[in-house]
Amino acid sequence: ADLSALETTTEADIAALVVLQAELDAAEALLAAHIADTGNPHSVTAVQVGAQPVDATLTALAALNSTAGLVEQTGADAFTKRALGVAAGTSVPTRADADARYQGLDATLTALAALNATAGLVEQTGADAFTKRAIGVAAGTDILTRADGDGRYDTLGSAAAALTAANTYTDDELAAYDDDAHTWASAQTFTVAPVFTDQSGSRTALGLASGTYTPTLGNIANVAASTASVCRYMRIGDIVTVTGRIAIDPTAATTQTDVSISLPVASAIAATTDCAGVANSQAIGVGVIFGRATDDTALLRFTSTAVVSNENWYFTFMYSVL
C-alpha cells in the first residue's frame, strides 16, 4: 500500500491512542451495564420496574383531599367521600352507631309491621300476635267511640240530662235501672214527655208476665154460692203465683167444702202436687189449695163450721205451667 500520504505517527501518539481506546471500551461497558440495570429510570419500561401506567381513575383518586371518610365512586373516574356516623342524612353509620340509633330485631315488632293498612284499633290476641277491631257499631265486635255510645245508648246519671221526644223508653228498660245498682245520680230533666211503650209481649216470650184476672169458680162440693173478686198473678218462667179473695157460702155445717179456681195462665194440671197453696177465713179458719186434674184448676178445700155463713177467703197459691 502507498503510505506516503500518511503523516508520520510517533510512538507517543500510538501510546495515547491505546489509552484512549481503553477508556472508550470502559465507557462503553459502563453504558451497557447502565442500560441493562432495571433501576435505571431513563431507558426501562414501567413493566420492568413494576410501575403503574398513567390512569384517569388513579388520577381522580389522587385528587381526593385528606378529609376522613369512606370513598364513594359517583361516576366514571369520579369520586367523593361519605362521613362515618349519623351526623347527616348522607352519613354511613357503623354497627355501633346503628345499635344506638335503631330498634333491634324483635318478634313483636315484626308482627306489628305485618299488619295491613285497614283502619282500626290494634288488639293483641296472643304472644306476638295482633289483629284489628273496627271502630263503630257496624258489628258486634266493633269498639265504640264516646260519640258512638252517646248515639246508641241513653246517657244516665248526668245532671239535668235532657230527654227529648226522640227517646222512647220501654217499661223493661226502666225496670232494668230500678234497683240498687242503677240509680239516677241527680234530677233528670224531660224537655218533653217521653214515650214509654208496653213490652208485655216480649216479657211473655221470655216467660215473664203479671196482671189481674177474675177467676171462674166451680162449686164442687157443699157450696150454696161463691163469688169471685179481681185477683193478681205473676209469672216467672214456668212458675205462676196467684193471690186474691173469693166469698164462699157453704151448704151444710161441719162438712168438707170444695171450690175450684180457674188459672190465669193455662196449665195441664196432672197431679195435686202441680199446684199448692193456702187460704184463710177469719171466721172459719184455714183451708188448703192443690191441683185439680179434672178441669186443670186449683181446688180450695176446707171444712165448714157449725155456723154456716157466707165468708171471705184470702188465698195464695203457686203452680207450674205444664
Top-ranked range on mean pLDDT: pick from 58-62, 139-143, 147-151, 243-247: 243-247
Which residues, in sequence order, are CB contacts of 286 under 8 Å at separation 6+? 278, 279, 280, 302
For position 31, what pLDDT does the model report?
Answer: 78
DSSP 197-252: E--HHHHHHTTEEEEEE-PPEEEEESEEEEEE--EEEEEETTEEEEEEEEEEEESS
Look up residue 8 and give its DSSP letter. Answer: P
Please name the amino acid found at residue 13.
D
Given pLDDT bands bounded at 50, 70 and 90, which one contains residue 319? Answer: very high
Indicate if the pLDDT at residue 295 is higher than 60. Answer: yes
Q: Is the pLDDT higher at 47 or at 15?
A: 15
Burial class (CB in 10 A: 0-12, 13-18, 19+), 90: exposed
Which residues, in sequence order, are CB contacts of 314 under 8 Å at separation 6+? 244, 245, 279, 280, 281
Given pLDDT bands bounded at 50, 70 and 90, which one contains residue 178? Answer: very low
Long-range contact set of residues 212-215: C-beta below 8 Å, sequence gap at least 24 = 213/264, 215/244, 215/246, 215/261, 215/262, 215/263, 215/264
Mean pLDDT of the chain: 82
Indicate if the pLDDT at residue 7 is higher than 80. Answer: no
* pTM for the whole structure: 0.41
Cell 304472644 identifies what position? 127
| Mean pLDDT of the 272-290 span | 95
Are 280 and 273 within 8 A, CB to CB?
A: no
Given pLDDT bands bounded at 50, 70 and 90, which one contains residue 161? Answer: very low
Q: Is the pLDDT higher at 204 or at 225?
A: 225
Q: Is the pLDDT higher at 192 or at 92?
A: 92
Given pLDDT bands bounded at 50, 70 and 90, which one contains residue 159? Answer: very low
| Mean pLDDT of the 253-277 span | 96
For position 164, what pLDDT does the model report?
Answer: 46
Q: Count the neighbouring beta carbons within 10 Å of the beta carbon of residue 167.
A: 13
Residue 223: closest CA among 255, 247, 253, 251: 251
For position 316, what pLDDT does the model report?
Answer: 98
Percent of the chain with pLDDT over 70: 75
How far apart are alpha carbons 165 and 64 in whole angstroms? 84
How far apart are alpha carbons 43 and 38 in whole angstroms? 9
User: What does the chain come to in residues?
Assistant: 322
Are 253 and 306 within 8 A, CB to CB?
A: yes
| Mean pLDDT of the 123-130 span | 92
Handedness of CA 187, 189, 193, 199 (dihedral sign): negative
For position 1, what pLDDT does the model report?
Answer: 47
Kind and range of the H or E element at 50?
Answer: none
For position 98, what pLDDT does the model report?
Answer: 83
Residue 247: closest CA among 304, 310, 194, 205: 310
Indicate if the pLDDT at residue 166 is higher than 90. Answer: no
DSSP 249-292: EESSTT-EEEEEE--SS-----SGGGEEEEEEETTTEEEEEEEE
SS3 for 178-205 is CECCECCCCCCEECCCCEEECCHHHHHH
Indicate if the pLDDT at residue 192 is higher than 50. Answer: yes
Q: Count the neighbouring beta carbons within 10 Å of the beta carbon of residue 60.
A: 15
Given pLDDT bands bounded at 50, 70 and 90, which one contains residue 140? Answer: confident
DSSP 98-160: HHHHSPPP-HHHHHHHT--S--SEEEEEETTEEEEE-BSSSSTT-B--HHHHHHHS---S-TT
| Mean pLDDT of the 291-305 span | 96
Indicate if the pLDDT at residue 255 is higher than 70. Answer: yes
Kind and range of the H or E element at 17?
Answer: helix 11-36
For position 163, what pLDDT does the model report?
Answer: 45
| Mean pLDDT of the 166-184 span | 50
For position 9, what pLDDT does the model report?
Answer: 67
For position 293, what pLDDT does the model report?
Answer: 96
| Mean pLDDT of the 143-152 span | 82
Q: Is the pLDDT higher at 152 or at 168?
A: 152
Q: Is the pLDDT higher at 219 or at 89?
A: 219
pLDDT, tens digit, for every residue of 80-119? 999 898 889 888 999 888 888 887 788 898 888 899 988 8
